[in-house]
Every structure is written in structure tokens, then in C-alpha cells.
Structure 1
């Protein structure tokens, strides 16, 4: 654990605090004026983030997944039955993104050229937006990680 001190313009304190929180595991910033009162002093107790676990392979992520045909049916029924398509239902977006990822993977294995990979990436980005994640990675890797964790708890 370590302490970070930043002296900055008061208008930049939120931006600096968010940047530090993105880079480190931080406690809330403590803010004080400088002696001249023109700038702000931020004190942040921080620690290094733990090393992330390796991304699961598609085989690991989708071991417990139902068949693609079954997931297509579930996704279509869920989209038709309720307000789940408005982006508020995480399970819907997770399963949809995983389904599209699995379709794209099968197309890649067959060397088929279509837009499945693009659709899978866009659905994965939607899930990341919904989760409010700041993870910097390939969106489809994120879906595999999240799906593996979700499937394990079902």
C-alpha cells in the first residue's frame, strides 16, 4: 500500500481521482486546498490491483452452455416476451453476446466469411457498457469470462 499526493487545479480533481482509481485500487481521495488557496491537494491511499486471472478459452467458457439452437430459442423468446431488449436485463445481454460469440467461433473454424464476428463484438461491447466496466480487453474475451462465471453459478 502507498500514498499518492497530487497538486492540481480544483477543476481537475474528479478527473485525476477517476484516473487514479482506474489505475490502482484506491480509497476515496482526501482533498485540501494548497497554502495559497489556488490549487487543490489530493491524497490517495492506493495499492496495486491484483493480477487478473487468465481469460478462459471458448471451450472453458462454454462447457456448461446449452446448444446454440436452444440459446437462439431462449434469446428470441426473451426478446419477444418482455422489455428485456431495452438493455436493462444483464442476463439477456450476456447470453445473447455469448450466443453470438459461439456462432462467430464456429464460423471462424469453418473459415466462413460473414459478419458474425462483428455482431458478437458489438453485443459484447453492449454488455460491457451495461456492466459499466472499464476493462481494457477484447470484448469477446470479456463475454467468455463473464459467461463462465455466470454459468458456474446457475
Structure 2
């Protein structure tokens, strides 16, 4: 644990505290004016975040998932209801990516050769881009869309986000 002291312009306070809380586990920020009253002093107790654990397994992420056939129907109908794929929400991209991940895993288990893994990875990247652009309400724990581990394993990110989403739906 360590103490951080920052002297900054008052308009930068929110940006600085948000950035620090993204990087570290932080305490409540203590704020005081500087002696001249023109700037702000911030005192924050911080600690390194623990290293995130492994991605959820398929068994952890998809125990409540509808059947693959049912999800195919749902994604097809949802896409058909939107003209030219416009206004597809996060639920659509998440469920589509999870569906394709499940299909790819089944192919991997059955040793079927094809492009299912590649298609699932691309769908995962689409969800990550959606979340990164601020269009989605992602869970992001322990990995957020910009995390290097997310780029390294996009399908793991889908499992993380689906596991969280499934608990609420």
C-alpha cells in the first residue's frame, strides 16, 4: 500500500481520480485546497490490484444458456427485426458471440475442422469493440475491454461477460 499526493487544477480532479481508480485499488480521495487556493491537493491511499484469475470455463459461463438451436433462432430473429442490422444492442452482440463460442468449443471437442473458432473470435472482437466504444454496459471484472488479456483471448472475454449477464437475466 502506498500514498499518492497530487497537486492539480481543480478541473482535472475527476479525470485523475478516475484514472487512478482504474489502475489501482484506491481509498476515498481526500481533497484540500493549496495554500494559494488556486489548485487542489489530492491524497489517495492506493494498492496494486491483484492479478486477475483465469477466464471462466464454458461450464462456468454457460450453465443456464439456452440450447444452441434456440440461440440461433433468437439471434436470427433479432437481426431480421432490425433493418440492415442497425441498432443492434449489446445483448445481441453478447449472445451472438457466446453462441458462436459454444459452437466453436463443440467443434473443438469433436475435432471438427472448420472456421468456427475463427468466426467465434471475430464475433468476440465485435463485442469488445462495442464495449470499448462505450455502447455497452460491460461488467469488466476482472478484465475490461482494453485489458491486454482481452486482446489475447477475446473468447475468454465473451465467457466472462456472458457469465455476468446470465446471472442478471
TM-score normalised according to structure 1 size? 0.69
CA deviation vs aligned residue, 1:10-35 (integer Å, no higher than 9, x gap): 45433321221102333553333322
> Does the aligned pair in 1 maintain the 2:56–2:159 contact within 8 Å?
yes
Instruction: Give 1:38 shift.
Output: 4.8
Gaps of 5+ in 2: none
Aligned pairs for 1:3-152 (under 5 A) are 3-46=3-46, 49=49, 52-81=52-81, 86-88=87-89, 90-106=90-106, 110-113=112-115, 115-116=118-119, 117-127=121-131, 129=134, 130-132=136-138, 133=140, 135=144, 136=147, 137-138=149-150, 139-152=154-167
Q: Secondary structure at the match of 1:131?
A: coil
- Looking at structure 2, the residues matched to 45 and 120 of structure 1 have their Cα atoms a distance apart, in angstroms, of 36
Instruction: Give 1:42 shift.
Output: 0.9
TM-score normalised according to structure 2 size? 0.64
* Cα pair distance change 1:87/1:14, threshold 3 Å: farther
Aligned residues: 153
Gaps of 5+ in 1: none
- Looking at structure 2, the residues matched to 14 and 151 of structure 1 have their Cα atoms a distance apart, in angstroms, of 32
Instruction: Give 1:118 shift.
Output: 1.6
Q: Secondary structure at the match of 1:76?
A: helix
> Does the aligned pair in 1 maintain the 2:20–2:26 contact within 8 Å?
yes
Across the aligned residues of Structure 1 and Structure 2, the Cα RMSD in angstroms comes to: 3.6
